[in-house]
Structure 1
Amino acid sequence: MKALVKTQKGAGNWEILNKPEPSVGEGQVKVRVEYIGICGSDLHTFEGHYNVNAEGLTIGHEFAGVVAEVGAGVTNVKVGDRVTSETTFTICGHCRYCANGEYNLCPSRKGLGTQQDGAMAQYVLTRAKSLHILPENVTTRQASITEAAACAHHGVNKAKFDKGAIVLVLGPGPIGLLVAQVVMAYGGRVVMTGLTQDMGRLTIAKEKFGVEHIVDVQKEDVKAIVEKLTDGYGADVCYDCTGAVPSMHLGMDLLKKKGQYVQIGLFAKDEVSVDFSKIIQKELTVCGSRSQNTHDWEPTLKLMSEHKIDADKMITHEVGIDEWDRAYHLLKSGEATKIVMHPIG
């Protein structure tokens, strides 16, 4: 089968290669891939910022398809089922995180597209317990972005807010747009921020997804806007989806006392400067959000089936895995919001 493979570490080094189809083992499922979503981490891997743990590894972890073969002991899915999958491939199975279904935190976890061959191919081997059967009204094309949406759901659930709460979503990228949709589904009122160069996506956020307030922080007084909406108190919750230090500082500035700050976007550097005096004096609750876990998938698919997460509006382009270079430039230029790829024969 043809697969998009990272042939060696460093920037670039992605090639279409012929690889053997995977063979199923006990507790495993072979899925015929129909659509693969491109994640921001895929871009970072291509650029050499994230070094995957093996050379010759098939890339891709956002996908949906049809069960082609099941291994011994598999009872939760059958051949012909339309499915999507969590990214977890192997876990230790006995740590306290595994016991709680928090596989994203297992110290022995290996994931699809990073330590185990991923989905940018005709077939992918999965862990049976990671699979989720699609609702009847969710297509495999729509479901190919479930993993990204589950990451958004995971982040949103790191904070608690009441209906009508003023919620900051910093950054109008794909994750920011998904976070905004989840927040609105749960009753929050979204204020989404971006830079002047982001106005195209901010407009999409308002016109396509119904975000109530969009703000160009380089041209508008976002603090005055938030204070007007909150009687001077500040926002209830902030989700930073940018991984930019100035955005982090802005978010903490705009929060009310006892507000909640959630860091979803990854920073370019491992260490960044944080104003802890602000956290202390305002009694802020600050936490991070890493990927997603098994508890996020069914609620996410439910929101997709109810059209509260609109995958069709998120997906702006579709290409084959042999058009990776085109997809990369569409995403880097900002022309595309979310791109899905399909395998090639």
Structure 2
Amino acid sequence: MLALQKIAIGEERLELREVPEPEVRPGHVVLDVAAAGICGTDLHIMKDEYRSEPPVTLGHEVAGTIAAVGEGVLGWHVGQRVVSETYFSVCGRCESCRTGRPNLCARRRSIGSFEPGGFAKRVLVPATNLHALPDALGFPEAALVEPLACVVRGMLELNDVQAGDRVVITGPGPIGLLALQVAKASGARVVMLGTAADTARLALARRLGADAVLAVEAADTLDVAVADALGGPADVAIECSGAAPAAGLLLRLVKKAGRYVQVGLYGTAISLDMDQVCYKELRVSGSFATTPSSWYRALALAETGAVSLAAVVGSTFALHDWQRAFDAVTQRVPGKVLLIP
């Protein structure tokens, strides 16, 4: 089968290669991939800004149908529509694993970076990672459950965004659009910030319920504009863009004793004014990947319609057209770009 792979460290390129189809093994299932989302992490892997073990097939935002079931797997059968958590293996014994945070296990190996991922016709995953798709959730939008679970982790599990909160978000990409919907579903007021290049994406944010959308180029007046739109200064600032200037901007915009949540990855070290964190007594929180509990909450939000994944689906491309798909991501087309193997 064809698979899109990172070939080697030090080579900022991907290659479509012929690889053997995965063979089922005990405790695992093989999925027919229906859709796989392109994530910013895939771009970071391509540029050696995120750890990986090439040659490896990329793609960790995966939805599909069970094609084969391994020995010892109970409760799953061929033909079921599912999504899969991203880790392939963890140690199961460290403090992180034993306290419900397998995402922080030092021995964690994930699909799409250390094990073959979903940018291929088929992918092998542990059966313990599976979540059945509700009838209301179809393909290709089901591939967005994974980024939604990331947002749930950062906003609800670690920071408890709730009704009445005034929220400002930077980055109207797929993660930012999901964060917007989660905040609105929680009863918050939301302002979405983007750049002049984000006109179409900001328009989508407005359609998805943002109380206001603003361009960061008007930096001198943003404090007043954000406060006017929210009815006061932001209680919570959520950085989804992975653009270094956004971090400094949000430290300025968030109110004293407010919360700053980092969801986007930068791929390199950035400078942050920690004096502002102290002067304003801010609570700064990072968020990385997902936990099993965040997947259950994400699926509930999607199934009930509190969050529309279909509204965030942007463009879809066949696997052989992967270069155009990656170009679409870098060109900031609205919504999530997906590969259909």
Relative to the length of structure 1, the TM-score reads 0.93
Tell me how far 1:230 sits from its aligned partner.
5.9
Give SS of 1:290's match.
coil
The alignment status of 1:325 with 2:320, answered yes or no, reads: no
Tell me how far 1:252 sits from its aligned partner.
1.4
Amino acid at match of 2:256: K
Tell me how far 1:319 sits from its aligned partner.
1.0
Question: Which sits farther off after the overlay, 307-316 or 184-193?
Answer: 307-316
Task: Report the Cα distance in structure 2 between the residues aligned to 1:162 and 1:319, rounded to whole angstroms.
Answer: 37
Task: Report the Cα distance in structure 1 between the residues aligned to 2:238 and 2:268, rounded to whole angstroms.
Answer: 19
Task: Note if contact 2:28-2:73 (Cα within 8 Å) is conserved in structure 1.
Answer: yes
Tell me how far 1:124 sits from its aligned partner.
0.5
User: What CA deviation, in whole Å up to 9, does each residue of 1:190-218 have, x standing for no partner?
Assistant: 111112222221111102x1111111121
User: What CA deviation, in whole Å up to 9, does each residue of 1:139-184 have, x standing for no partner?
Assistant: 1311111111111111112213431211011111111111111111
Tell me how far 1:48 sits from its aligned partner.
4.1
Task: Note if contact 1:58-1:117 (Cα within 8 Å) is conserved in structure 2.
Answer: yes
User: What CA deviation, in whole Å up to 9, does each residue of 1:198-242 have, x standing for no partner?
Assistant: 2221111102x111111112136220023335665x211111112
Give SS of 1:140's match.
coil
Tell me how far 1:11 sits from its aligned partner.
4.0
The equivalences for 1:225-304 within 5 A come to: 225-229=225-229, 234-270=233-269, 272-304=270-302
Q: Percent identity?
A: 37
Task: Note if contact 2:200-2:334 (Cα within 8 Å) is conserved in structure 1.
Answer: no
Task: Specify the alignment match of 1:166 in structure 2.
Answer: 166
User: What CA deviation, in whole Å up to 9, does each residue of 1:6-50 have, x standing for no partner?
Assistant: 222334442222222212222111111111111111122234433
User: What CA deviation, in whole Å up to 9, does each residue of 1:90-115 have, x standing for no partner?
Assistant: 00011121123311101100000100
Task: Specify the alignment match of 1:123 in structure 2.
Answer: 122
Task: Note if contact 1:161-1:236 (Cα within 8 Å) is conserved in structure 2.
Answer: no
Stretches of structure 2 lacking an aligned partner (at least 5 in a row):
none
The equivalences for 1:308-319 within 5 A come to: 308-319=306-317
Task: Report the Cα distance in structure 1 between the residues aligned to 2:77 and 2:140, rounded to whole angstroms.
Answer: 20
Task: Specify the alignment match of 1:194 in structure 2.
Answer: 194
Tell me how far 1:246 sits from its aligned partner.
2.1
User: What CA deviation, in whole Å up to 9, does each residue of 1:317-338 have, x standing for no partner?
Assistant: 1111110111111121123421
Task: Specify the alignment match of 1:144 in structure 2.
Answer: 143
The equivalences for 1:27-176 within 5 A come to: 27-50=27-50, 52-55=52-55, 57-157=56-156, 158-176=158-176
Stretches of structure 1 lacking an aligned partner (at least 5 in a row):
none
Give SS of 2:140's match.
helix
Tell me how far 1:249 sits from its aligned partner.
1.5
Task: Note if contact 1:152-1:175 (Cα within 8 Å) is conserved in structure 2.
Answer: yes
Count of paired positions: 339
Task: Specify the alignment match of 2:26 in structure 1.
Answer: 26
User: What CA deviation, in whole Å up to 9, does each residue of 1:284-317 have, x standing for no partner?
Assistant: 1001011111111111111111222222221121
Residues 1:240 and 1:13: Cα distance change in structure 2 (over 3 Å):
closer
Give SS of 1:266's match.
coil
Tell me how far 1:3 sits from its aligned partner.
1.6
Question: Which sits farther off after the overlay, 333-342 or 260-269?
Answer: 333-342
Task: Report the Cα distance in structure 1 between the residues aligned to 2:118 and 2:198, rounded to whole angstroms.
Answer: 30
Task: Specify the alignment match of 2:177 in structure 1.
Answer: 177
Task: Note if contact 1:196-1:219 (Cα within 8 Å) is conserved in structure 2.
Answer: no
Report the aligned-residue RMSD. 1.7
